[in-house]
Amino acid sequence: MAIASQQAGVGSPSGTALGGGVARLGVPGIVLMIIAASAPLTVVAGGVTTNYAVSGITGVPLGMLLLACGLLVYAAGYVAMSRHVRNAGAFYAYIARGLGPEAGVAGAWVALVAYNAMQIGIYGMLGFATSSFVAAKTGLEIPWWIFVLVTIALIAVLGVNRVDLSVKVVGVLVALEFLVVLVYDLLALATAPEGISAAGFLPGDLFATGIGVVLVMGIAAFMGFESGAIYTEEARDPARTVPRATYTAVIVIGLFYAFSAWAMQMSSGPSEVVASAQANGPDLIFVELGERAGTLIADIGQVLFISSLLAALISFHHAVARYAFALGREHMLPRALGRANRRGAPALGSIGQSLLAAAVVVGFAIAGTGSELGPLYPVLTLFTWLTNLGALGLITLMAVVSIAVIGFFRRDRRDTTTWSRLVAPAIAAVFFATVSVLTLMNWNLLLGQEESTPLTFVLPGLLVIAAVVGVAIAIHARHRRPHAFESIGTGVMPALRAED
């Protein structure tokens, strides 16, 4: 018996409509989810510090501005397409509509691997940071994975509820993140031992040996900025909301990262910042906060560092669940994943992601028992391996999406300009393809390896396998389930035949 097709976003709360068929998210809510995925405090405390330490150059602030400009160029085509394609599986739908169904499903599977890797990898840092903080303050040695499993349970509860509940939680966490970093920045500028200067923003500071590392490590700080389009089905007036949120988020985090990286340089002095970063690592800002504002402020900063990881985990969790929903709705994954619960949440995708995360964490916990890496095991393995894998996948997808934008508007120019439908996407495609190549060229360095091991090739190989699986599923659908094949990237649930 055939079941009539349903347009995405139409139907009952327990059907194919995210958010219960009610548009709940405005620009502020989407901006918060985007910024949360970028984890500002985590980026400044961990990413910026590590960038200085590994690259050995002082051009990190300028590098952040350059990357932000590159992302704004990319956004021109990306948001132009978001006005015409409303789908929770953003990359999936864009690639399918621009380059064909097979490429779309391949991109969706790569996105699933990448977003899962980012989300699950962050648990490694959260477990280490929480366990270390509790041990330092109470003397209790609690295994890192216990904190992670508790966090997975918390996020699982948020994931099966309306997204606006997560936005409220994330909003508070993001505001506190910005506050503690701004306190650090102002104290840094007030005590600058070598005075205030333009060091870090001068071309010679960046265009030197090490620029590739700055760009590769810096782009990871922006991962999640593309997630605005994932919420198009739950946004009020998505044709306006998503573009405004995307541009706002890129500008805010780009300026914030550049300013904070510069303040960190002023804090130690341009001549000492690299040495300070190498000596203290991610603890640098907390050490300096303790020296300048007292132990209590430093402790609060460390707690907020943990909460910034929680905010990022929530954001990436929602991204994974919505990709699973989009694929399930169009029968590229089990159909049950493509139905929302009575709260309008992609519940099965959310639960599946939580179970996968728990399984991976337990696996790493067992493998790390007695490891010579000691307490740093979850950081040097789970966090390092998976977040770099996720970043590589997302960077590569952004290059492909840029090409897809050109393909989409080549057939129908609609209300676009030459800049947004051709020039900007072409520049973005070259930009992200270059960053992808630089990432692979520095892959051993990113993984902390002195020489290649099987892991060096297995991790990027997972993305290739995901793409091949996606193509195979699409080809199978084309020959055996043409009704499902025709729905790929449309956001429409295909009609079911009697044999389905």
Residue spans per domain, the chain: 6-493
Q: What is the C-alpha to C-alpha distance for residues 352 and 320, in angstroms, rounded to an integer?
A: 9
pLDDT score recorded for residue 1: 30
| Alpha carbons 138 and 117: distance in angstroms, whole number | 32
pLDDT of residue 290: 92
What is the C-alpha to C-alpha distance for residues 178 and 256, in angstroms, rounded to an integer?
A: 9
Query: Which pLDDT does position 12 carry in this prediction?
Result: 35
E-strand ranges in 91-197 read: none
Rounded CA separation 151/310 (Å): 8
In whole angstroms, give the CA distance from residue 460 to residue 359. Answer: 21
Among the listed residues 233, 226, 218, 220, the one whose alpha carbon sits nearest the alpha carbon of residue 249: 226
What pLDDT was estimated at residue 339? 87
pLDDT of res. 463:
97
CATH of 6-493, one of 1.20.1740.10, 3.40.50.10210, 2.40.50.140, 1.10.10.10: 1.20.1740.10
Q: Cβ(53)–Cβ(267) under 8 Å?
A: no
> Could you list the pLDDT tens digit for every one of the 500 residues in the chain?
333 333 343 333 345 556 554 556 788 888 888 888 888 888 998 889 989 998 999 999 999 999 999 999 999 998 888 888 877 778 898 999 999 999 999 999 999 999 999 999 999 999 999 999 999 999 999 999 999 999 999 999 998 887 777 778 888 888 888 899 999 999 999 999 999 999 999 999 999 888 888 988 888 888 877 777 777 777 788 878 888 998 999 999 999 999 999 999 999 999 999 999 999 888 899 999 999 999 999 999 999 999 999 988 998 999 899 889 989 988 899 989 988 888 778 899 999 999 999 999 999 999 999 899 999 999 999 999 999 999 999 999 999 999 999 999 997 777 788 999 999 999 999 999 999 998 999 899 888 888 889 999 999 999 999 999 999 999 999 999 898 898 888 877 666 554 45
Kindly state the helix (H) or strand (E) to which residue 355 belongs, with its residue range: helix 347-367
Residue owning tokens 């901006």? 31
Q: Residue 24's pLDDT is what? A: 67
282-289 long-range contacts (CB < 8 A, ≥24 apart) are: 282/45, 282/46, 282/49, 282/50, 284/45, 284/49, 285/44, 285/45, 285/49, 285/181, 285/184, 286/45, 288/184, 288/187, 288/188, 289/183, 289/184, 289/187
Predicted local confidence at residue 69, as pLDDT? 93
pTM of full prediction above 0.95: no
Residues in a beta bridge with 493: 6
Question: Between 101-138 and 454-480, two packed helices, what is the crossing angle to 10 degrees?
Answer: 140
Residue with the two structure tokens 């603890």: 283
Cα(475)–Cα(485) distance, integer angstroms: 8
Q: Tokens standing for 269?
A: 């002095």
Contact assessment for residue 67 and residue 215, using Cβ atoms and an 8 Å cutoff: yes
Centroid of chain to Cα 218: 13
pLDDT at 16: 55
Rounded CA gap, 116 and 386, in Å? 9
Length of the chain: 500
Give CA–CA dist 392/432, Å, rounded: 10
Tell me the C-alpha to C-alpha distance, in Å, between residue 90 and each of 142, 232, 233, 461.
Answer: 39, 9, 10, 23
DSSP conformation letters of 433-460:
HHHHHHHHHTHHHHTT-SS--HHHHHHH
